[in-house]
Chain A
Amino acid sequence: MSKIIVVTSGKGGVGKTTTSASIASGLAKRGHKTCVIDFDVGLRNLDLIMGCERRVVYDFINLINGESKLNQTLIRDKRVKDLYILPASQTRDKDALTKEGVAKVLDELKSEGFEYVVCDSPAGIEAGALMALYFADEAIIVTNPEVSSVRDSDRILGILQSRSKRAEDGGEPVVEHLLITRYDPERVEKGQMLSIDDVSELLSVELIGVIPESKDVLEASNAGMPVILSEDSNAAQAYDDSIARLLGEQRPMRFTQVQKKGLLGRLFG
């Protein structure tokens, strides 16, 4: 039984690809055969974040059009066993993604024994984003504690609830998880940033994790390595906690409180 998870947000630049790469790597590290698909046709980036950009031969659209076979197209990750990457096409048009084509690829992944398929959605609410969420069983809504990101997340939640396959079929709704990224507890304490409670209450979605603002995220992307593999990093540990929760474990939130207070803070706080 394979599960399709879409990583989406509406707004761009909030950490969808970073999250897709880390969630997929984390699931595979736990022994689940996982494929992560880049749905951003024309603006492929997942391959860079995963560090496999020089190994791309065929892409998602080739596979849909029958120009390549699944085992020729999937890129096997060199660091994590059981992890495969399906890159987006860099040259084709978004219209090349059809529901029938995507369904065919997802079915083939299912029959190849993939337990998880992580769909990295493009920004926006157009064809590519709609296609990425259409077949989802679960959705990870990536949100920054910032007004435009929260508003866009609310929009994309509405779309999940009305335009996904599950919504159209009238069955069980897509299971929604909120992932807050780039969280800075110090700024929250100073009243300069929306808090976890603010964001989760505004969106009324169950919280799956909070990734702290971290320099390691940029450094990991510089190196082409999912940040979850930089194990000493707070961001990596926060991603690992999120995956544990995704799999049903209970874990307390970490890195959501101010670590140490300065002298003034201790005197007056």
Chain B
Amino acid sequence: MGLLDYFRSKPKTASIARQRLELLIAHQHEGGAAPDYLPQMQQDIIEVIRKYVAVSDDAVQINFERTDQCDMLELNVSLGEDDAA
């Protein structure tokens, strides 16, 4: 088993862990600053879009960024492929 494993390349879970934590920690740090209406707003936007197009629950991504000059809301809507409709 050991020999076979040696030649088989598996995805390295440590790098997955690092990537997940990078996102999480970045989010955690802006978490205090991000307005708490974001999840509700995200839900509402999805509802509005659904009046016209069938989209999945994760079709709308909202990112909140605070810089020195201004707060920025980044909105990504993916309308998906045909099979999503």
A146 to B14, CA, bound (A): 9
Chain B residues touching A, majority SS: helix
The 8 A CB mask of B22-34 against A (1 = contact, 0 = none) is 1011001100100
A251 to B20, CA, bound (A): 32
How many interface residues does A have (CB within 8 Å)? Answer: 19
> Inside 8 A of A38's CB, which chain B residues have their CB?
none
| Cβ-defined contact, B20 with A192, below 8 A | no
Interchain Cβ contacts within 8 Å, total number: 44
> Inside 8 A of B17's CB, which chain A residues have their CB?
146-147, 194, 198
Interface residues of A in 165-224 (CB under 8 A from B): 188, 190-195, 198, 202-203
Question: Does B3 sit at the interface, judged by CB under 8 A?
Answer: yes
Q: From residue B17, how far is it (CB to closest CB) to chain A in Å? A: 5
- The number of chain B residues touching the other chain, given as a range, is 10 to 19
| Cβ-defined contact, A264 with B21, below 8 A | no
| Cβ-defined contact, B25 with A191, below 8 A | no
> Inside 8 A of A155's CB, which chain B residues have their CB?
28
List chain B positions with a Cβ less than 8 A from chain A.
2-3, 6, 12-15, 17-18, 20-22, 24-25, 28-29, 32
9 further interface pairs, Cβ-Cβ under 8 Å (given A150-B25, A158-B28, A202-B21):
A147-B17, A158-B29, A191-B13, A192-B14, A193-B14, A194-B17, A198-B18, A202-B18, A268-B6
